[in-house]
Chains A and B, each alone.
Chain A
């Protein structure tokens, strides 16, 4: 009942209810109030146009069209409702038949329903109208039977959904009879959906009835419904169109009333909304977040001079990169780093640390409503924050930057051949002929060690295994001979053995073609294996930057060490629970004033809570953003020997 009230509160719900209410009230009271006026024959006023006496004119017997349209509401609605009732009842019987009759007979009924559903309801109605005979009764049965197959299918789908549930299985085991199972357990569960659909079907039945009566197959004179009035009025549409238009409008309005009310019910009762989608939800969620979440201080300080300068061999320079969403959410808060020519740089962090957003922002792939700003963002010396014109930018990025995404299963277009998707890159950006592009694509597929590349070129993505697809993806990323490949969690969706192959492949591509690699991963071990340098991200900041070789020996940030400690090794005591990083990742919509990691950090003190530490380089150029970096004993970074940071929950 509470949900019904919710339905009625929406604009759609209100207007639909009012509309339906008017129609129903008219259906009940119009014949009582105006029945006499509607049937009064006035031979002195035949076929008149609209006047003050007759608002919509008169018909060929001098009867008032306006009152007739109002009075016809009852018969029209009545017939539609009864026809729907017949259809729903017959549909229920047919749809529930498989459950009651058992598998073999049920299958026969299902097959028959499937054939009937293929035909439009109006054709079925026409067929049944022939059999049941011309007239209101025949049309009633015809439309009812024509509605039945749709409801049979709906019922069957719903019943199948419910019948699989545990408590139905339990009831069955307990020996509850099939009929009882249906009436006590199944029907109550599918009732709501049936009611919603029956309401919508009533609207369609109303329209169908108007159609049949209009054709002369439904209601017969002297009785009249809207369809019959329409058919009467159409003959004189040139002389006084109101007589034809008014019943037509009545049919449409009443049909809409049922339809909209049904949809409002569906929305209110929690049938998922089709429109809008995840983006709209995300935008709403963003709006709900507290506005103006504290943006940490030290924005400028964060751009470390060591990182910010463009060295001559820099492929990528990022300085003070920020990503924000409407509503004061700042998932990336001033990230600065460089990637040298041929260098492999890893970015590691938990989900929500902003590493993937950083990658997408660098690649200029973030769309509304995300806002990206950067002090400097340059690829091969070209400033990506400035716009040199769409075409130039596209061509430059298309050939200098390759992307590899997480899920190779969904990152290929399922309806296009693999090879064509590779060739497309240079067809578009280098103006290469179709044949040359195909040759290059086959060559690239070969280079990423895909066997029989000629054959694979012509296959569709679903014909390749996951690992093979990810290799093809890497081949696609290096189609245009880029200077930088950004790989966003490229092995996360793959199983372990395939992971190794893909990692090795990335490594060899990097070495062979002198391609720089920006490797995003949540797996610190993998990053350590593949990369020359590691950036550790937490809550939208880089908190540590050090050579991969120094990870185990020189990691100083408590977060980095917690990540390292959480990796099980061959020496991990299997009696103990697996080590985890305690607490929950920081909420980008609600960041603390001080160090974002403080709430999870065993070393945290008052200073950490009030002031945000900035990246500080040591003598060897390793950087860390922690007030207590010196307090972490350097030699002691093996496995689980940092018990201060780890909890065994």
Chain B
């Protein structure tokens, strides 16, 4: 690797490289903090985690053997070093209760959670984009006050209902009253309908409300007047000139919502007995199976960090002035 002054200058000059370097640095620090936090779980819990997991009746010899197997006898810095080394090689320890490797447990459960989160995100964006944009166009310049008021109130109420409570309501209406969809277990397309709706509706409401305000704001901008002066058709003004500008601010919220969706899966999965990470982490917390908890916390955390990274990259691509790239 030759780092001549010239190549360094190129690095400093290219805003994209600078952006990538800084953002990767941030990511690395965050991951390190996250890994450390997950490592500390087993050391911060009150009492002896192994004794707690195996129960009061377990013989002392078994506890000692497990402690030894988990490496809990070593000095803490050595344990930390081992933890890091194992993570690099993809090992996350073994479940105390089932004896399965944690990576295997996660591998089995992750896809179901991912599907749920991704579909929910797609549905909420798919609902929010046309509704937010459409409502902005319909209610521009203070038109249709009644429509605006009902849209806003519906949004506030819908956004105030957390996913798992909405899930209960949906189960009641669709499964109990109408008998349309299976409640529990993963069984093809229909089993996705209720969980995805339960997670998507609230965030769609938030997103649509914000998008509408952003679009209304962008419509006041001088460049929209310029576009109108060019006599572009309305659809072109809204989709090509207004929407990209409205999206830059909305994207940040999108990232927050997607991150919240990941957290929301934990609750919604437990309503629908969904075989994902959420159901597993709760069961593991209750049975004090800390290695599994550590692993899943790590997976959730990295998911959130990746989302934040994706949002920043998307922002930088969408908005050439983006301060993210420049400062």
A residues neighboring B (CB under 8 Å): 112, 115, 118-123, 126-127, 129-131, 133-134, 203, 207, 210-211, 214-217, 230, 234, 237-238, 241, 244-245, 248, 251-252, 255-256, 259-260, 274-280, 283, 363, 365, 367-369, 393-395, 397-398, 403, 405, 407, 410-416, 421, 424-425, 428-429, 460, 462, 473, 476
Contact = CB atoms under 8 A, between A and B. Distances in A.
B319 interface: yes
Contact of B230 (A120, A122, A127, A476): A476
Question: Chain A: interface secondary structure?
Answer: helix
A130 B294 CA distance: 10
A244 B165 CA distance: 10
A107 to B, nearest CB: 13
Contacts of A217: 282, 285-286
B304 interface: yes
B268 to A, nearest CB: 10
B142 A413 contact: no
Given A120-B263, A277-B220, A415 B244 contact: yes
Nearest to B228: A365
Interface stretch (B84-92, B119-127, B154-162): B154-162
Given A130-B45, A130-B293, A214-B164, A410 B141 contact: no
A424 B233 CA distance: 11
Nearest to A283: B142
B295 to A, nearest CB: 12
B321 A134 contact: no
B282 A425 contact: no
A247 B271 CA distance: 15
A279 B168 contact: no
B93 to A, nearest CB: 15
A520 B226 CA distance: 16
A214 B267 CA distance: 8
Given A127-B37, A394-B231, A460-B321, A411 B263 contact: no
Contacts of A460: 320-321
Contacts of A251: 162, 165
A120 B172 contact: no
A127 B299 CA distance: 12
Given A237-B171, A259-B160, A415 B165 contact: no
B241 to A, nearest CB: 5
A237 B184 CA distance: 12
Given A411-B226, A413-B226, A245 B231 contact: no
A-B CB proximity, top 3 nearest? A398-B231, A403-B229, A122-B263
A410 B221 contact: yes
Interface string B235-258: 010001100110010000000100
B232 A241 contact: no
Contacts, number: 190
Interface in B308-322: 308, 318-321
Interface string B126-147: 0000000000000011110000
Contacts of A415: 244-245, 248, 318-321
Contact of A425 (B230, B293, B297): B230
Interface in B182-229: 213, 216-217, 220-223, 225-229
Given A237-B172, A237-B176, A123 B304 contact: yes
A279 B30 CA distance: 43
B152 A275 contact: yes
B270 interface: yes
A630 to B, nearest CB: 42
A260 B45 CA distance: 37
A123 B262 contact: yes
A105 to B, nearest CB: 17
Contacts of A127: 37, 41, 297
Contacts of B286: 134, 216-217
B152 A134 contact: no
Interface of B: 29-30, 33, 37, 41, 44-46, 140-143, 148, 152, 156-157, 160-162, 164-165, 168-169, 171-172, 175-176, 213, 216-217, 220-223, 225-233, 236, 240-241, 244-245, 248, 256, 259-260, 262-264, 266-267, 270-271, 281-282, 285-286, 290, 293, 297, 300-301, 304-305, 308, 318-321
A398 B264 CA distance: 50
A421 B172 CA distance: 52
A466 B175 CA distance: 62
B182 to A, nearest CB: 12
Contacts of B140: 279
B165 A210 contact: yes
Given A122-B263, A411-B222, A214 B319 contact: no
13 contacts: A123-B262, A126-B285, A127-B297, A130-B45, A245-B168, A245-B169, A252-B165, A255-B160, A276-B142, A398-B230, A398-B231, A411-B226, A460-B321
A519 to B, nearest CB: 16
Nearest to B260: A120
A207 to B, nearest CB: 5
A115 B33 contact: yes
B245 A414 contact: yes
B64 to A, nearest CB: 23
A203 B161 CA distance: 11
A234 B305 CA distance: 33
Given A120-B263, A368-B143, A414-B319, 5 more contacts: A118-B304, A120-B304, A215-B270, A234-B168, A277-B220
Contacts of A122: 260, 263-264, 266-267
Contacts of B162: 207, 210-211, 251, 255
A410 B37 contact: no
A395 B45 contact: no
Given A123-B300, A123-B304, A278 B220 contact: yes
Nearest to A403: B229
Contact of A230 (B168, B222, B227, B245): B168
Given A274-B213, A411-B223, A424 B230 contact: yes
A211 B29 contact: no
Contacts of B293: 130
A395 B231 contact: yes
B230 A428 contact: yes
Contacts of A428: 230-233, 236
Nearest to A460: B320
A398 B237 CA distance: 14
A120 B278 CA distance: 15
Contacts of B148: 275
Contacts of B29: 115
Contacts of B156: 260
A245 B172 contact: yes
Contacts of B168: 230, 234, 237, 244-245, 248
